[in-house]
Structure 1
Amino acid sequence: MILDDPDKFKCPNREVTHVSASDENAIKPSLGMALVPIVLTLLVLGIQLFYFGDFTPHIPLTIGIAITGLVGLKLGYKWPSIEEGAFHVINISMPSVSILIVVGMIVGVWIASGTVPSLIYYGLKLLSPEIFLAAGMILCSTVSVSLGTSWGTVGTVGLALMGIGAGFGIPMYWTAGAVVSGAFFGDKISPLSDTTNLAPAVTGTNLFDHIRNMLPTTVPSMLIALAIYFVVGFTLIDTSQVSFERIDAITSALDDAFWISPIMLAPALLVIALAVKKQPPIPSLFAGAVVGGLMAIVCQGATMHETFTFANSGYSIDTGVPEIDPLLNRGGIQSMMWTISLVLLALGFGGALEKTGCLQTIIEVIISRVKTFAGIQTSAILTSVATNTVAGDPYLSIALPGRMYAPVYRGIGYSPLNLSRAIEEGGTLVSPLIPWNAGGAFVISALALGIGDGNFENLLYIPLAFACWLSPVIGIFYAMTGLFSPKSSDEEKQAWQDAGEPIATIGA
C-alpha cells in the first residue's frame, strides 16, 4: 500500500512522538523484530497466569517494557527517548487514572453513607430473580449513558447489583456479565464518554454522526444480550431455589447496620443530574463523593475522621451475613492502587511499543495484505482487539489503528465512519474482556470477583458479557455483506481535499 508520512496522523492530546536528534540513526523494525517484545511478553504473561496460577500481570508487563527497551536499543533508539515515549502515553491517560481514584473514594463513601446498602436493599425488595439480569443490564446502560463512564457505573451501581445477585443466589459471573454489558454500552454511545469522543477525533468524523453510525451494531447486540438474560433468568438459573430466608437475613442486616431510605440515593441522583447537564465527569463524581461523605456523617453517624478513612482506605463492617460482607468491606483510594499500578504499567508497555515503531510496523503489514473493504474493516476491528490485548490500553487501541487506517478508507471511497465504529467495537467494548487490560483489571477489582490463587471461575463473566463481544461480531458481518457500511459522501471528499488529508491505496 501507499502510506506517505504516518507521523503526520494525530489525535487530540496524543501526537505521534517524532524521532529526536538522538534517534536519527534508529531504523524501522522488521515484522519479526516488532513481534519479539509482544510474543515474549505474552509468553511470560501466560506462564504467570496459567502455570503459576497467579493473577498479577504486573511483573510480566514490567518485563515486557524491559524487552521492548532492549529491542528499541537494538534498532538505534536511545533509552531516554524510549522512556519519553512510555511516559508520554502515561501522561495523557492521567484523566482516566484520576477517575479511578475518585471512583475509589465514591465506593468507600457511598457504602458508609448508606447509598450502596440502600440500592441493594431496594433491589432485593423490588426485583424478582427471574428478571434480575435483564433489569441489571438496563439499569447499568441507563446510568452509563448518563454518566459517560463505564468505570464509574461498574464501581457504584454495578457493585450494588453484585450484592443483589448474591442475595438471589445468582452466580457472580452471570451478574458481572450483565453489569459489564450494560456499563460499557453507555461508554460506547454516550456523547460524554472520552472514548466516544476520541474515536471520531482520530478518524476525522463528526461525533453525533459517529454515534448514529454505531446504532446498527449496538442496538442488535444489546437486544440479543437482553433476550439471553431474560431466557437465562427464567430457565437456566434455578430461581426456585432462591432462599427468601437468606434475602430476609440480608435486608435485615442492612436495616440494622444502616439507615435505609430513598434519601440515601441522593448522591447517585446528584451525579446523574450533573451528567445530564453535561458537566465534566471528574468534578461530577467528586461532588457525589462529597455529598456521600456528608450523608455518612449526618445520616449514619460517622465522624469526619472516619469518613476520611472510608474515602482513603475503604469501608469495613461485619454484618454476619457472608453474602454481602465482601461487597461492603471495600472501596477507598488505596483499593484502586492495584488497578492503577497495572494500568500505568500497561500504558508504559504500549507507549514503548509505539515509540519503537513495533505497533506501526505490524499494522502496516496487515494493511498491505488486504485488498477489499471487508478486509480493511475486519482488520481494523481485529487490530483494535489485538492492541487492547497486547498493550492493555483502550485508548491506544482506538488512537493507533484509527490514525493508521484512516487514509486507506479515504483511498477506497468508504466513509471513515466505518473506521470510527470499528475501533470503538474492538477498543471500548473489548477492553473489559481482557483481564490484564485497564478495563478488565478494573472490572475484576471493583466487582470483587476474587480472581487469584488459581481460582479463575469468575472469569466466566467474559463470555457472558454478550453485548461486548456481539457488537464487533455483528460489525464484521456488516463488513462482509456491505450492510450499514456508508460510502464517502461528497462533503467528506471535499473536506479531505480542502484539508490536504493523506490518501492511501490498498494492495499497492
Structure 2
Amino acid sequence: MTQEKKKHTTSLLESIVILVGMLACLGILIIKYKMIPHIPILMVFTVLLFYGKFRGYSWDEIHDGIVEGIKPGIIPIIIFLLIGVLVATWIASGTIPTIMYYGFKMVSVKFFIPTIFLLCTVIGITVGSSFTTISTMGIAFLGIGHILGFSTALTVGAIVSGAFLGNNLSPLSDTTNLASGIAGIDVYDHIKSMAETALPAALISLVFYVVVGSSSKSANMAGIQQMADVLMTHFDISFWAILPVIILFIFAWLKVPAIPSLLISSFSALFITLFRSKQHYSLKVLCDMLMNGFVAKTGNRQMNVLLSRGGMASMLNSAALIILALSLGGLLIKYQVVEVLITNIQQFVNTPGKLIMMTIVSATGINFLVGEQYLSVILSGETFKSAYDKLPLDRKYLSRTLSAGGSAVNALVPWGVSGIFIAGALGVNPIDYVPFATYSFIEPIISIVIGFTVVTWRYRKNQAK
C-alpha cells in the first residue's frame, strides 16, 4: 500500500484528541511546572512529527508543513531582532532615559497605572504597532513603575492592554488592515465598527486600573528625585534625544513598513549617541552594543538593571521560540487538524450570536494551537466569510470579530508570537501579566455578548423589513 493510500482525512475525534492532548501537555508543563515554553513545545512537536509519519505523510510533506508554518514568522523575527537594536540605541542616545526623566516629573503616582494604559493606547493608535509601543515606551513606563513601587505584572498588563487597544483602533496597524482586507471592507468602516466593542472593553479596563492602581502604596518621592538625578547625570536628557521617537511616528503616518522604519530610527539614535552622548563609544563598542545590548554604568544598581537591555542577542531566545511554535502550527495545518475543527464548528452558526461566538472561538483556538495572530485572522476569516454572507450578516461584524479573537488574544498565549515578544522585551513571565492584561480578554467577551444582543436585534430588525 502506498503512502498516499495510507493517509486519510483527519477525523473530528482525532482532531479533538490531538488538541486536548497538546494543550494539556503545554498547560501542565508551562503553567503548573513553570517550565520555559521551548522544551514543552519541542516535546509536542516531536510527537506530532512522528504522528504524521505514522499516518502516512512523507518526510518531504512533513518538512513542507514546517516550512509553511514558519513562513508567516520570518518578517516578525526580523522585526524582533531590529527592535532589539532599537532598544539598545534608544537607551544609549538618551531617548528612553529622557522619557523616564520627564515621566518622573509629570506622572501622578495615584493614577500612574491608568495613565500608562491611556498613553500606550494613544501611542499604539499613532504608531500602529503594539510591538513598537511595548518595546519602546513600554520599557520606559516599566522603569518608572518599578521605581514608584508598582508590581511588574500590573505595569506590564496595563502597557499590553493599551498597546493592543491602540493597535486594534489604528488605521496604520497591519492586523487592522489584514482583518478589514479579509472581510473585504474599508479599514475606516472596520475601525468604526471595532469601536463598538473596543471602547466598552477599554472603559472596563480603565476602571479596573484606576481601582487597582490607586490601592498601591505611596511612592518614595525622595527616591524618585534621586533616580531622576541619576538619569540627568549619565544620559543626554534633551530634545535631541526625542528625535528618534518623532522619526518613528512620522514614518508610521507615512505608512513606511516596520523594517525600514526601525532601521532609520535606530541609526538616527546611533548618530545622536555619537555626537551627544556623555560617554565615548568606539566602533567596536557600538557594534557590541547593537548585538549584546546597552550596559548601564550609572553607579545605581537599580537603574543599571532597568537600563541594561536591548541588542539582537536579547531577542534570539524569542526568535527560537517563535520558530518552534510556528513549526508546531504548520504541522497542525498540514495534518488538517485546524481545518477539521473549524469546518465542524460551522454547522452551529445559524444565528448572528452563534456565528460571532464561533468566529471568536475559532480565532482564539488557532491562537492557542498555532500561536500566530496573522494565521488566526486569515484562517478564521476565510472559513467563516461565506457564513456571514449566507446568513446574511454585514461583514463589518466579521472584521471586528477577527481583530478581537485574533489580534488581541495573541498577547495572552505564552507560546504565541506576542506573548513571546512581550516576555523577551520586558523581561516578564507571560503567566504573571496575563491576569492584568484586561483588554485582551474582555474584548472577545464583549464581542460575544454584543453579538447575542445588539447585533442579533439589528439583524432581526433588518430581516423584518
TM-score tier by shorter-chain length is over 0.9
Number of equivalenced pairs: 458
Please state if 1:263 is matched with 2:240: yes
Distance in 2 (CA, whole Å) between partners of 1:187 and 1:484 is 27
Contact 2:198 2:443 in 1 (8 A): yes
Contact 1:69 1:79 in 2 (8 A): no
Q: Secondary structure at the match of 2:136?
A: helix
Contact 1:144 1:150 in 2 (8 A): yes
C-alpha displacement at 1:201, in angstroms?
2.4
TM-score by length of 2: 0.93
Contact 1:29 1:75 in 2 (8 A): no
C-alpha displacement at 1:356, in angstroms?
1.1
Distance in 1 (CA, whole Å) between partners of 2:313 and 2:49 is 30
Equivalent of 1:80 in 55, 60, 63: 60
Equivalent of 2:403 in 385, 408, 424: 424
Match of 1:308 in 2: 287
Please state if 1:111 is matched with 2:91: yes
Q: Secondary structure at the match of 2:408?
A: coil
Change in Cα spacing, 1:412 to 1:25, as seen in structure 2 (3 Å) is farther
Equivalent of 2:227 in 234, 238, 250: 250
Contact 2:98 2:237 in 1 (8 A): yes
Contact 1:354 1:360 in 2 (8 A): yes
Match of 2:34 in 1: 53
C-alpha displacement at 1:321, in angstroms?
3.3
Percent identity between the two aligned chains: 31
Match of 1:337 in 2: 316
Equivalent of 1:472 in 428, 444, 447: 444
Contact 1:103 1:155 in 2 (8 A): yes
Match of 1:292 in 2: 269
Change in Cα spacing, 1:199 to 1:167, as seen in structure 2 (3 Å) is same
Contact 2:69 2:328 in 1 (8 A): no
Equivalent of 2:73 in 93, 101, 107: 93
Q: Secondary structure at the match of 1:99?
A: helix
The aligned amino acid for 2:156 is A
Change in Cα spacing, 1:304 to 1:477, as seen in structure 2 (3 Å) is same
Q: 1:155-184 CA deviation, whole Å, 9 max, x = no partner?
A: 000000001111211111111111001111
Distance in 2 (CA, whole Å) between partners of 1:82 and 1:206 is 38
Match of 2:250 in 1: 273
Distance in 2 (CA, whole Å) between partners of 1:216 and 1:402 is 20
C-alpha displacement at 1:138, in angstroms?
1.9
Distance in 1 (CA, whole Å) between partners of 2:6 and 2:269 is 56
C-alpha displacement at 1:413, in angstroms?
0.6
The aligned amino acid for 1:102 is L
Distance in 2 (CA, whole Å) between partners of 1:153 and 1:485 is 37
What aligned pairs does 1:40-189 form with structure 2 within 5 A after superposition?
40-54=21-35, 56-189=36-169
Distance in 1 (CA, whole Å) between partners of 2:91 and 2:115 is 22
Q: Secondary structure at the match of 1:443?
A: helix
C-alpha displacement at 1:51, in angstroms?
4.7
C-alpha displacement at 1:344, in angstroms?
1.3
Distance in 1 (CA, whole Å) between partners of 2:414 and 2:72 is 22
Change in Cα spacing, 1:334 to 1:151, as seen in structure 2 (3 Å) is same
Contact 1:45 1:60 in 2 (8 A): yes
Q: Secondary structure at the match of 1:158?
A: helix
Please state if 1:463 is matched with 2:435: yes
What aligned pairs does 1:355-374 form with structure 2 within 5 A after superposition?
355-374=334-353
Please state if 1:448 is matched with 2:427: yes
TM-score by length of 1: 0.85
C-alpha displacement at 1:49, in angstroms?
2.0
Gap regions ≥5 residues in structure 1: 1-20, 452-457, 491-508
C-alpha displacement at 1:260, in angstroms?
1.5
Please state if 1:215 is matched with 2:198: no
Q: 1:223-265 CA deviation, whole Å, 9 max, x = no partner?
A: 222233233333x1223xx111211221122122212223211
C-alpha displacement at 1:197, in angstroms?
1.7
Contact 1:37 1:64 in 2 (8 A): no
Distance in 1 (CA, whole Å) between partners of 2:126 and 2:284 is 32
The aligned amino acid for 2:358 is S
C-alpha displacement at 1:269, in angstroms?
1.1
Change in Cα spacing, 1:324 to 1:22, as seen in structure 2 (3 Å) is farther
Greater percentage in helix:
2
Distance in 2 (CA, whole Å) between partners of 1:444 and 1:284 is 23
Gap regions ≥5 residues in structure 2: none
Change in Cα spacing, 1:284 to 1:487, as seen in structure 2 (3 Å) is farther
Distance in 2 (CA, whole Å) between partners of 1:259 and 1:94 is 35
Match of 2:453 in 1: 481
Contact 2:172 2:253 in 1 (8 A): no
C-alpha displacement at 1:426, in angstroms?
1.0
